[in-house]
A and B are shown apart, each in its own frame.
Chain A
């Protein structure tokens, strides 16, 4: 009898400890860390392990800010890219967003703005950051003329190529799209797979489609199709889609590209298995300063703007756009402080980010006064001369349509959809 009691006691203790110990623990945690008067929660996606330089720049800025603003403490949470997106998703359903966090532009922020989760930041831009941003970047975070994000990065897409591989095989570096096709064929004849493409992450294939659309139809056709003043069934866009399949059929891309991750494709380029690779400027450190990459390879990498197609198109028109930007949560208890911190962060970010982490910032920086690798200087110059930057389609589109777009891209590249069906899939999704 006695034994029975003790056992029952033990078990109920076990169960209640399951349910109660937790609560007391969390009380402790929240009371223990609230020494500072104001606490700003900041969530970002540059973990120390993979993005040490970004991580350090962020910590530097935070340390400076805390030193200058006594009583303010920045409470940091760091997640990896995918996990960051998923967590933001979960937090938003419970209206528990961090005070400051990172968002992507355009389509990505639509649902958050629709749900009143992000605070308008026009007042911050006007008072503290007027004329700080590269034109067009802050606008990418605006919906109905209200800006909800402060851009941090600006990326443009180019074709990077391995000059040495061209030379070794006696193949001319192409200057037009037709020459690009010729060069691809020449590489194939040498038994070399010409263009590294990891279309399992189909935003990479999307960039090829977008450039072809830009060169064939001009800078506006695709944008108009997306903002519904035009159509994906525009002949130029159908032609661009058909040209994608022509590229595929001519064997320009590496084998099995639809099953490769971008990272695998990149490694083919970086291990000199493929001479060409289209990517955005976030990979510049790999081609310039990253000591883990052999010097010889970095020396032989050059870039070209996407060439003209059939003599048409403006080579100063780019695909690209701002990457991540800062948002401030609308229902934050420390909204004003959070805004102040964001503005400070953006001001500090630009030069530090480009110099220390190799990020092309969305704020204007004085490249001449900095010690940068030549390729950075060239790319920054390209940016100055850019006639247009068309934002990544999967960023421009709302998340729902973006998913359709990315699936359709895979199907188009896999010859499972005709250009007409490709156009129709977009029209159907956009008209919903």
Chain B
């Protein structure tokens, strides 16, 4: 009886997994097809000829620069977001001050703003400080707009940290900064890794801000590289597929790395907990 249950459980889990992995296979086939095959044929049919030239086209389109920009902008924004959000979560959950409830509320409101409402005011703000067409405007925008969600996820975790840890540390004469960076941060590695993954996904795929604030080719990112293949009357879908594959590979690799961190962190914190 139990075995049958397990069998069906696995079956269900694997069927779901299939549904989640198919898009990747589909996207790969898509990237090797012509527009005709993409629209007329079945999505999972093999292309009549493998059009590797789609990748060549993408490469010639200067994807190297876009790629480099995506990487450093994504990483910079992640570092700032996760660090600042961790600090804020620490202050909001572990420290005692009157306005903490209000500040937390403000962060939650920050979660709710639709980006198209913010776009035009942000543009004029960056314009007034001469930061249009400057990649740092993108980095700080990503940082700010991912802070609320990152903070929310961290908060749920910080609440569950046992208070004894800090008490012990403080009584041992440990400074607050040492405690935060040496004890609290390492303890939250699994959830930090989770927020890193989430931030990575958001930053890597974002294009509305980049398109609006950046105009020089040298600062554009991969998502803008996709736009390069969308025309006024015609769109080169095969090349878009190739760009998407090129852009999804690093994020999958990074994801696998960080998602192992989720598990590693646990084993270390489990010892302490």
Contact = CB atoms under 8 A, between A and B. Distances in A.
Contacts of A90: 119-120, 123, 212
Interface string A300-336: 0000000000000000000000011000000000000
Interface in A8-26: 8, 14, 18-19, 21-23, 25-26
A234 interface: no
B231 A29 contact: no
Interface stretch (A48-56, A62-70, A174-182, A212-220): A48-56
B120 A93 contact: yes
A23 B137 CA distance: 10
Interface string B104-137: 0000000000000001100110010111111111
Interface stretch (B9-17, B155-163, B222-230): B222-230
Contacts, number: 133
Given A26-B130, A47-B227, A292-B34, A86 B234 contact: no
Given A23-B130, A47-B230, A93-B120, A263 B178 contact: no
A271 B137 contact: no
A50 B136 contact: no
Interface string A32-52: 000000000000011111110
A323 B40 CA distance: 28
A283 B35 CA distance: 14
A79 interface: yes
Contacts of B181: 7
A192 B162 CA distance: 69
A416 to B, nearest CB: 27
A356 interface: no
Interface in A71-96: 77-83, 86-87, 90-91, 93-94, 96
B177 A7 contact: yes
Interface in B132-161: 132-137, 139-140, 143
Contacts of B139: 18
A19 B80 CA distance: 12
Contact of A93 (B124, B231, B232, B236): B124
Contacts of A167: none
B56 interface: no
Interface string B207-223: 01001100110000000
17 contacts: A1-B175, A4-B178, A18-B136, A21-B136, A22-B134, A25-B136, A27-B130, A46-B232, A47-B228, A47-B229, A49-B239, A50-B229, A80-B228, A80-B231, A91-B123, A94-B127, A292-B34
Interface of A: 1, 3-4, 7-8, 14, 18-19, 21-23, 25-27, 29, 45-51, 54, 77-83, 86-87, 90-91, 93-94, 96, 263-264, 267-268, 270-271, 273, 282-283, 286, 292-294, 323-324
The 7 A-B pairs at the shortest CB distance, nearest first, are namely A22-B136, A267-B39, A50-B231, A271-B40, A49-B229, A49-B228, A80-B230
